[in-house]
Structures are given as C-alpha cells and as structure tokens.
Amino acid sequence: MSFTMHGIGVSGGIAIGRAHLLSHTRLEAAHYAVPQHELAEESARFDAAIETVRSELGALRAEIPPNAPAEFEAFINLHLMILNDSTLSKAPHGIIETEKCNAEWALKIQTDALLAQFDEIEDSYLRERRADVIQVSERIMKALAGHPGHVPRPAADSAHSAILVAHDLSPADVVQFKHHQFASFLTDLGGATSHTAVVARSLNIPSIVALHHARQLIREDELLIVDGTQGVVVVDPDPMVLGEYELRQQQWGIERNRLKRLKHTRPATLDGVEVELHANIELPEDIAEVKEYGATGIGLFRSEFLYLNRDDLPDEDEQFEAYRNVAQEMDGMPVTIRTYDLGADKEENGAARSAANPALGLRAIRLCLTEPHRFKIQLRAMLRASHYGNVRILIPMLMNAGEISQTLHLIAQVKRELDAEGIPYDPGIKVGGMIEIPAAALALGLFTRKLDFLSIGTNDLIQYTLAVDRTDDTVSHLYDPLHPAVLKLIVHIIRTAGRAKTPVALCGEMAGDASLTRLLLALGLRQYSMHPSHLLEVKQQILKSSLREARAYVQRMLRTEDPVRLRAMLGRLNA
C-alpha cells in the first residue's frame, strides 16, 4: 500500500531505492534459522565471540597509557563485568536453542530485553549503564561478524540503490557511510542541525531525519522515493508517481551540473562586494570535494571525527599527518582546524562520560581543558602542520575569559616545547574562537581582544539561544534560524567584530542554506563556510545579489517580529 511520510530534509535531491532496515539497537542483526544439528556449533560460535571480546578488553586494559584518565580503567573493568555476566554471555545460548536461530539474533533479542529493563530503572546512575550494555553488545556483534564496524553494506546486486532506514544514527555511524554507497538514509530521530544531519549533508545524498515512525512502518526491501528537499518519503509509490519523481531526479542532476560552471567564478555581488566561500570538512579525504566545488579555504575542519569509530586515540604523528596533508593540499589557502569538539552527541567509543544535559556539559574546550595532556598532543600536531601551509587554530564553545587564557597559555607552552626540540612551526599562527554560546556573543569584547578571528557557530548558537536541543526531533519545529533573537545576535557579533577589526566568519548550517545567503550578506557577513556541495548554490545567489538593495530591505526585516511575515519577506528578498 502506498503512503507518504514527512520529516526534515537534511540534504536536497531525490533518491529512489529499496529500504534496508537497521535494527533498533544500532546492532545490525541478520535473522536466520539454524537446523537442529548445527545449534551446538552456533552456540560455540557465540562463545568464541565472547572470548574474542574478553581478550580485546584485556589487551586494552594491559595497554592503558600512564597518562590516561583514571576512569579509563574503571570503564574497561565495567565492560568486562557486563561481558562476564550470564545475562549477556550465557542467556543467548537458551535463545539459540529455543528459537533455533543464529547467534546474532539471539544476542539482539537478549540485548533488547536487557535494555527494556534499564528503561524502567529509576536510579539515574544505573540507567546510564544502558549505554555500556549497548557498547559491549556491539563488540560481541562485531566479533561475530569477524570484522570491526557495524554499518551494513548495501547489497551489491540491488536493482535500485539501497536506502538505509534507522530509528537513530550517531554522527560516528554516518561518517562511516562515506565509505559505503547508500543512496539515502532516513531516521526517526534527529534535528536539522544535529551532527548526524550535519555529516549527512556532507555525504551529498538526499536524506531525511525526524520521521518519527519510519523504522516501524517501512518494511525491508520496500520501494521508496526520498525527496530530501521537501523532506518527503513516498513508500511503495504507484507507477505514475514513480515516473514523476524519476523525471524530477533527472532535472535535479541537470541543475547540479549546470552549477558546476560557476566553480572558477569569483564570488562577488552585482555591486562588486567580494565574499569568501570556505568549506567545512570532517575528514582529510573530504578535500577532494572541497576542490571539486572550488572552495578557497577550509573554514572548519571538525577534527573530532578523527577520534570517532575507533578504540584507541589518534596519536600526535597520525594527527600531524592528517593536518599536514590537508594544509599541503590546500596549497597556501587557509585551513582552519577546530580543536576536538567531543562530547554531547559526538562520543568516542567507550566514553564513560554521560550527563543529564550533555549539550550543557563537559564538551568541546571544556573537555580539552580537563585533559591538558591529550589536548597538548593535538595542539602539537596542529602547530607542526602549520609549517606546511596556512593553518589556523579554532577553539569551539568558548564562554569566558578564563578558557581563552588557559588555551592561549597551553598553545604558548607547546610552542616553547617545539622550540626547545627544534621542530618548525608557524610562529604567527592565528588562533580564533567559535562564537556559539549567547554569553560569548553578548560579551564579545573578551574574544576580540584576545583572538585573531571569530567564527559564528549558528548550529549551537540557535540551540542555546532558543533552548531547543538540536538533536531532539520532538522540538525540531521550534528550531528557528530566523527568530529575532538569533538575527539580533548575529548582527551584534558581525558589527562588534567589525568595529574591533576582528575578521568574522559563519560556519554553521545557515552558511550553506542558499535561502539565507542574501540575508546574511545584508547583515554584513563576508566569509561563509559550509559543506562543499552547497557552495555553488550559495555562490550563484551572491552573484545575483545587489548588496545595496538587500541591505535596505533587510533593515525592514529586522524590525519584523511576526514569523509568518518574516518568512514572506525572506521570499521577497530572494525573488
């Protein structure tokens, strides 16, 4: 039966393909029957996986670096305890026997049952151990599969491309898709600027979040149309609808190709005002796309993605090579590397931290400053890479003067150490800060006085200004970049930074939304940083804009507080 679902489109375009469902617990579990005479063997396979994970955890514990945080060992011990508990290591045997099923399915059933029990627990400490159970289960699942990583591969022989349908995906999951050929993905949870959506956008495939019930209503292998621009999924379309969307898909492709002609055009308005268009990247390999779309710098390298999907930490040399490669590839153009913004929705494997309000908790620079040893490893790698190109350091989530001075102090310390070792770096390396907390925006002087440049992180700035969790689909309708308070803060930051002669860029998702390009231009923005695939659309918008006209109209928009009227005015501004 054909039906339609609506969510938030995070990346434009149309995909047509077959549904591939991801199981509820993020654990990909195939389900197949096992004949009676092979059940003992299946149980033995499960035992072998438990043994593999036991040795993995044992090896991890034996190799804890002396400088690792104290909770690291406690966390491994906890995982060993969960692994050794009979509810996980023995109960699946019973399920294999009674259900006559494979070990993965037995593990999945048992894990889901355990998680359901956790949901009922009132004690918040115990409830938080839910994440640990999932992680241990995932390890066993990987061991059963005989390889690391839990993102499934689409079937190579599918006539239509595969569309992944999941209840939820972490940013770490999505970043793995860079290596897989999914045509699209759909999730029940998530908001337009959740990191999951941000990474999805970088994959440049039409995708939708906040569908609420997609995982329940869509069946494996069902034919789907995904319209990422409108946020619409058509399930089991009839032939006429399918034909119409195939046509639209072709038109979209033609339009994208046409935009490629703008790759080498300098971005300037009709009245000659020049604008810089930089790119956001997650991994060094994204550079290929940066070049494809003609970005003239990296405005945001989210370095924390180097820390995800792995059980160890990237050491100084590994990071140095990643940063140096990007700096060299960009050949003198600015490369703005953000120090690791871990925490909240970007957790490392096995991170033992969890807080009631992770977005307000120990994340980004707050986390870095609690672990100066690890932070200095990254700073050393960045400084060493600065010798090979135009590297700039960007600090996320700064909020007060103390954080700035501590960070600058650590950078100075690392410079002295490199001097003593005779290791070259750029002594004039620029250090900037992300303005993504309203307090930082309102007390901007603290930042302009001490930093070389600023970058407005509107994804978080909107979340914190409006008190709307950017990852929560239940409040995503309240997440509004055009809220007067948000616009006032952006104007304030651009004007105040301008008076202080501190360069300011904008690197949140607003920068890549072509419907906001003209508005931001009129608000004084001259440096945009976005996913490379949005760059040409934004450039086209700039080339068609007259700053003088836009400015006058936007002054009227800023006086408008009625959201419906404001939207209508935005439409007229872009007409």
CA dihedral 402, 406, 412, 417 (to 10 degrees): 170
In the complex with Mg ion, the residue whose CB is nearer, 436 or 513, is 436
In the complex with Mg ion, the residue whose CB is nearer, 294 or 343, is 343
Print the SS3 string covering 246-296: HHHHHHHHHHHHHHHHHCCCCCECCCCCECEEEEEECCHHHHHHHHHCCCC
- Report the nearest approach of ligand PEP to the CB of residue 397 (Å): 8
- Report the nearest approach of ligand PEP to the CB of residue 461 (Å): 7
Q: Which does 487 bind (CB under 5 to 8 A by kind): Mg ion, ligand PEP, none?
A: none
- Report the nearest approach of ligand PEP to the CB of residue 365 (Å): 12
Catalytic annotation, pick one of 195, 278, 483, 531: 195
d(CA 551, CA 157): 54
Q: Which stretch binds ligand PEP (CB under 6 A): 452-460, 482-490, 551-559, 565-573?
A: 452-460
Interaction between residue 460 and ligand PEP (CB under 6 A): yes
d(CA 336, CA 266): 21
Angular region, 207: left φ>0, alpha ψ -120 to 50, beta rest: beta
In the complex with Mg ion, the residue whose CB is nearer, 173 or 460, is 460
CA dihedral 513, 514, 519, 522 (to 10 degrees): 120
In the complex with ligand PEP, the residue whose CB is nearer, 404 or 462, is 462
How, if at all, do strands 298-302 and 334-338 pair?
Answer: parallel
Interaction between residue 459 and ligand PEP (CB under 6 A): yes
Q: Which two tokens stand for residue 267?
A: 């971005």
Sign of torsion over alpha carbons 253, 255, 260, 266: negative
Phi, psi of 277 (to 5 degrees): -115, 110
Number of residues that bind ligand PEP (CB under 6 A): 11
If you ran DSSP here, which 8-state letter would residue 441 be given? H
d(CA 270, CA 541): 10
Active site residue 195: yes
Helix (H) or strand (E) holding 218: none
In the beta sheet, which residues pair with residue 224?
Answer: 17, 235
What residues between 318 and 377 interact with ligand PEP by CB under 6 A? 341
- Report the nearest approach of ligand PEP to the CB of residue 137 (Å): 28
- The label of the residue with tokens 């959201």 reads 563
User: What is the separation of C-alpha 306 from the centre of its chain, rounded to a whole number of angstroms?
Assistant: 12
Q: Which stretch binds ligand PEP (CB under 6 A): 326-334, 451-459, 490-498, 512-520?
A: 451-459
Interaction between residue 198 and ligand PEP (CB under 6 A): yes
Q: Are residues 279 and 534 in contact, defined by beta-carbon separation less than 8 angstroms? A: no
* Interface residue with ligand PEP, options 508, 518, 538, 550 (CB under 6 A): 508
Give the 3-state secondary structure of residue 288.
Answer: helix
Who contacts 157 (Cβ-Cβ below 8 Å, separation ≥6)? none
Give the 3-state secondary structure of residue 485.
Answer: helix
* Interface residue with ligand PEP, options 457, 481, 512, 532 (CB under 6 A): 457
* Interface residue with ligand PEP, options 507, 530, 557, 570 (CB under 6 A): 507
- Report the nearest approach of ligand PEP to the CB of residue 198 (Å): 5
Residue from 93, 139, 141, 85 nearest 117 by CA: 85
* Interface residue with ligand PEP, options 201, 215, 302, 483 (CB under 6 A): 302
In the complex with Mg ion, the residue whose CB is nearer, 78 or 369, is 369
Binding residues for Mg ion (CB under 5 A): 436, 457, 460
Q: Which stretch binds ligand PEP (CB under 6 A): 98-106, 212-220, 455-463, 532-540?
A: 455-463
Q: Are residues 171 and 126 in contact, defined by beta-carbon separation less than 8 angstroms? A: no
In the complex with ligand PEP, the residue whose CB is nearer, 26 or 195, is 195
In the complex with Mg ion, the residue whose CB is nearer, 17 or 171, is 171
Active site residue 492: no
Interaction between residue 513 and ligand PEP (CB under 6 A): no
Q: Enumerate the active-site residues.
A: 195, 507
Q: Return residues touching ligand PEP (CB under 6 A).
A: 198, 300, 302, 341, 436, 457-460, 507-508
